[in-house]
Chains A and B, each alone.
Chain A
Amino acid sequence: MPSWSDFEPFIVSGLALGGVYALSGVGLVVLYRATGVLYLAFGAVGAMGALIAYSMIQAGTPGWVAWIACILFGGVLTLAYGMLFGPPLAGRDPLVKAVATLGLTLILFGVMDLLWSSSGGQARSITLPTDTGGFTVAQIQVTWTQVLSLGLGVLLTVGTGAFLQYTKLGTGMRAMANDRVITATLGVPVRRVEAAAWFGAGVLGGLAGLLLADLVALDATTLTFLVISSLAAALIARLRSIPVTFVAAIVIGLVHDLLTPITQLTDYRDMTPFVLAAIALLWVSRHGTVMTRSREEA
């Protein structure tokens, strides 16, 4: 068993990872509540945004332009998907809507592999200026990127919660989560609220892609499947509660990284999100009555 000091650096990296999972998990939950779509292309969108930013930086574009391009790409692509495929699938089962986003995932996968072929073997990376600076807490090196990741996770969780609670648009989204038809009857511009949700989720996807490309690796497959981890957090929250999503994301990030120094388990640490989500799903469904009340989830 490794000593405590071996775990210390992984607390920081785990919290940072958890922060990114939290902000993508929150994006997934908000979009699901507002539109009924579980956006499985979230990771692929972020990965493609990060690759675009990488290419722009390679071509000599200033860093901040590339980062904004990455985030905007996520927002615009997601909005376009929502506008194109949202209406024809609006009346369908949530499952069908989720599977349709897998179609988008495959398209993005093919495009990414075609344009940024991985066969060359060169490792791509994005470095943010926050990587170099940092500070030390109890002999643990903390970079500003890690602070930024956790900070954004917290900020977005609180911000989204407040947004849903206090703004008109947020109220509209909450209303649509309950009943789309009644909401439309009451005069809420349903399409516009949905568009806002799509764009917001896409922006979060781009942001998550950028941060993960810096924290973990810039690789299409890795990034796409890393976001399954945030999906796990969203699932533990039963695609409903934003605070639970945040806590679950932080726990997943922490457990994942804290398993690294334990030699017997280090190879299995990538199972963390899957195992935690599976246990959580089975726990909430132990009476067999969960998720049958709402028509939307039946």
Chain B
Amino acid sequence: MTQTTAERKTDTTAAGLGWAALRRRDNLVRFSVITALLLFTLFGLPQLLSLYYTDAMTQVAIYAIVALGLGMLVGRVGLYSLGQVAVLAIGAWAAARLLFATTQPFPVVVVEAGLVTMLLGTLIGLPALRLRGLYFALITLMLSGAITVVLATVNFPNGGRGFTGYDGALLHIPAIRRPSIAGTDAAYFRYAVVVAIIMFALVFAHIKTRPGRAWAAIRQSEPAALAAGINITFYKLWAFALASFITGVAGGLLASADRFLYSITFHPQDSITLLAVVLMGGVYSMYGAVIAALLNSLLPAALQDWGVSQDWLTILFGIGVLQVLTTAPAGIVDQFPKDMKKLGRLLWRLVRRPVTAAAPATPGAASASAAPSASGASRASRGGTT
């Protein structure tokens, strides 16, 4: 008893970080399952998948980062951004321009793309963060619309000269280069997964430490957070900058994954779809971002493979948003295990029913109901087991 409280104390002081947290059995199991899954994703998956699905899974890894950024903004800070795809486009643009213009190593370019996006995101965010709630969501929608218009006019770099790097008269368009160690699609998939892991770790480190607690306070109540001495604007801006940075990094990955970029790839409608899948996946958990990315990138690829129209997916996402907002605010990541548990209990009851009906009921239960019905008997048995 004393040992568990002591453990819990070390757990809270370490704030879930560090090796002390691993001493708890739950965390240890969780850690090993995640490690095994990641190792399988890195080394087993590319061997099993066809080229088509390897590319789709690369997109999943990239969009997991985007979903993580948006999920963090929505779930941790309470900022609904309706323009994340425009942020992604900025990252992709910056990375493509740098990859054409310089011979810098790929990781450096990706980090630079992230920093450029962070800078622009912060510049946009600085005035936008004065607005709250609904108005913030709408201004991000407006700004993403404006960014989309600019990108459609400026175009993505295609190896041309000048600041924009676009040359409409170019006959041979060179592909955007990939890192030297990840030239093939399978290798690039691994590369993207590793980058995604680093980004998840970065966000995890934020959530478990001071900024994460500040964000939680802000989400609960801004006046209360202010009263507690939290600099609201600073921490909101921090969240926005962090989300912009990782989305910019994802944009850098996307530029090299697609190899050729077009402005129609980044439509404002995709920002809405992205918010839909992030809400469906679950914004209060980091696993939700992975589920969101699977919904966003793997499902459309699979549907195309099976010859089903993508429009069904759009409809499904619409229904999913309404369902999440009305009944299941924590999304699939929270709801699915609950539903499975309910289903399991239901099945368990179905299996147990003949047994309890045959065996004599406990005296208390028998006296309570003279003619025990099937449901009554099962209820009694459940009461006995728990």
Contacts and interface: CB of A to CB of B under 8 A. Distances in A.
Interface of A: 38, 85, 88-89, 92-96, 98-100, 102-111, 113-114, 221, 224-225, 228, 231-232, 235, 267-268, 270-271, 273-275, 277-278, 281-282, 285-286, 288, 291-292, 297-298
A94 B275 CA distance: 16
Contacts of A110: 311-318
Given A93-B133, A285-B130, A298-B132, A271 B146 contact: yes
Contacts of A224: 269
Contact of B143 (A92, A103, A278): A278
17 contacts: A38-B134, A92-B325, A94-B134, A98-B137, A102-B275, A102-B321, A103-B276, A104-B322, A114-B315, A224-B269, A228-B141, A231-B138, A268-B150, A274-B143, A291-B131, A291-B132, A297-B134
A235 B269 contact: no
Given A107-B315, A109-B269, A88 B153 contact: no
Given A95-B80, A106-B314, A88 B326 contact: yes
A273 to B, nearest CB: 7
Given A88-B326, A95-B80, A231-B138, A221 B269 contact: yes
B293 interface: no
Interface in B122-174: 127-128, 130-135, 137-139, 141-143, 145-146, 149-150, 152-153
B176 interface: no
B130 A282 contact: yes
Nearest to B144: A274
Given A107-B315, A291-B131, A85 B138 contact: no
Contacts of A102: 272, 275-276, 321
A102 B320 CA distance: 11
B241 to A, nearest CB: 19
Nearest to A269: B149
A98 B279 CA distance: 14
A228 B142 contact: yes
A99 B132 contact: no
B309 interface: yes
A113 B311 contact: yes
Interface string B39-83: 000000000000000000000000000000000000000001000
Given A225-B268, A270-B149, A98 B134 contact: yes
B335 interface: no
Overall SS of chain B's interface: helix
Contacts of A298: 132-133
10 nearest interchain CB pairs?
Answer: A106-B318, A103-B321, A110-B314, A107-B318, A110-B315, A274-B146, A103-B322, A114-B311, A274-B142, A267-B153
A105 B267 CA distance: 15
Given A109-B269, A271-B149, A291 B318 contact: no
A224 B135 CA distance: 20
Nearest to A278: B142
A108 B321 CA distance: 13
B265 to A, nearest CB: 15
Contacts of B269: 109, 221, 224-225
Contact of B320 (A103, A271, A288): A103
B142 A103 contact: no
Nearest to A44: B318
Contacts of A94: 133-134
Contacts of A103: 276, 317-322, 325
Contacts, number: 142
A100 B326 contact: yes
Interface in B195-212: none
B146 A278 contact: yes
A285 B132 CA distance: 10
A273 B142 contact: yes
A161 B197 CA distance: 56
Contact of A109 (B131, B141, B314, B320): B314
Contacts of B310: 113
Interface in B254-273: 267-269, 272-273
B142 A105 contact: no
B143 A100 contact: no
A281 B131 contact: yes
A104 B312 contact: no
A5 to B, nearest CB: 26
A100 B322 contact: yes
A82 to B, nearest CB: 13
B130 A106 contact: no
A297 B326 CA distance: 20
A277 B141 CA distance: 11
Contacts of A275: 146
Given A89-B326, A221-B269, A235-B138, A106 B315 contact: yes
B79 to A, nearest CB: 10
A113 B314 contact: yes
Contacts of B309: 113-114
Contacts of A235: 135, 138, 142
Given A100-B322, A110-B318, A281 B135 contact: yes
A274 B144 CA distance: 9
A231 B132 CA distance: 17
A173 B126 CA distance: 36
A61 to B, nearest CB: 25
Contacts of B127: 282
A94 B316 CA distance: 23
A235 B315 CA distance: 28
Given A100-B325, A278-B143, 19 more contacts: A89-B325, A94-B134, A99-B321, A102-B275, A103-B317, A103-B318, A106-B276, A106-B318, A107-B318, A110-B311, A110-B313, A110-B314, A110-B318, A114-B315, A225-B269, A231-B138, A268-B150, A271-B150, A285-B130
